[in-house]
Amino acid sequence: MPGLNELLSSFDVEQGLLLPDSWRQGRTAYGGILSALGVAAALQAHAGALPPLRSAQVTFIGPAAGVLRFVPAVLREGKSVVNIGVDVYSDEALAARLSLVFGRARESTIAHDFAGPLPAGGPDAYRDFNMAAMPFAPAFTQNFQMRPAGGAMPLSGAEVPELLTWVRHLDAANVDPAVALIAMGDAMPPAAFSSFKAAAPISSITWNVELLEPQPQGEWFLLRSFSQHARDGYSSQDMQVWDTQGRVVMRGRQSVAVFA
């Protein structure tokens, strides 16, 4: 079972990739690894060093199965910001489209942070939960160590659809911190899954993230997702990621299809 480090060390944007089953979610690739590989493809294909990743917009279009081919293209390169698009093909069918923004730091008199305190204790305060052993769990969850830290649990019929869990990669040594965080950021089920009383299909449609710490440090990160609205088979969820120092390092929004 290749961890993130091994997977990325053999990734060649020119050759594409046959994703191992251990990084799949049913018949398709796990959205976090697909997004992380898209970022890695942009970094690998660019002629020079890119500034830090600031944001990513990902649209999941079709099943990402078979040989995955990544096609990055520079959309615009300015003094501060580089915009790169990455199309991901699955056996020649478009599977996902990424819009990535890399931005150099600039001097600014404006600095504030109203994120609030860490909404849980540190990872040592909680016990491991073997998500991969659950009957509904997709294969990719075996690549992470997880410790629930509050909120609800999947399939608990929760009235408040919130998931709050400390997560770390089992193997992300030598991986670019931003790429590792993207690969982890979607590791939990969509928050609406906590309102389910029985397993049913659920699928991400779009995922938009902003990296507030371009070089996030540490192994453990607290992931929170909250379904703010669900109706007509779609859920809109809000997402945050904290480090162990209590800093929000990433924010996100996700649109999810609900088949229940």
Q: What is the pLDDT along the chain (260 residues), one digit of tens a residue?
A: 789 999 999 999 999 999 999 999 988 999 999 999 999 999 999 999 999 999 999 999 999 998 999 999 999 999 999 999 999 999 889 999 999 999 999 999 999 999 889 999 999 999 999 988 887 789 999 999 999 999 999 889 999 999 999 999 999 999 999 999 999 999 999 999 999 998 888 999 999 999 999 889 999 999 999 999 999 999 999 999 999 999 999 999 999 999 98
pLDDT for position 37: 98
pLDDT number for residue 116? 87
**Three-state secondary structure call for residue 142:** helix
SS3 content of the chain, % helix, strand, coil (to 5): 20, 40, 40
> What is the value of pTM for the model shown?
0.95
Concatenate the DSSP letters of all residues of 166-195 into one string.
EEEESS-TTS-HHHHHHHHTT-SPPGGGGG
The whole-number pLDDT of residue 133 equals 83
Residue 199: predicted pLDDT: 87
How far apart, in whole angstroms, are the C-alpha atoms of residue 108 and residue 99?
25
Structure tokens that stand for 28 in this block: 């398709």
- Give ∠ CA 259-129-192 in degrees, rounded to 5: 25
Contact 173, 17 (CB under 8 A): no
Tell me, what's the pLDDT at 134? Answer: 81
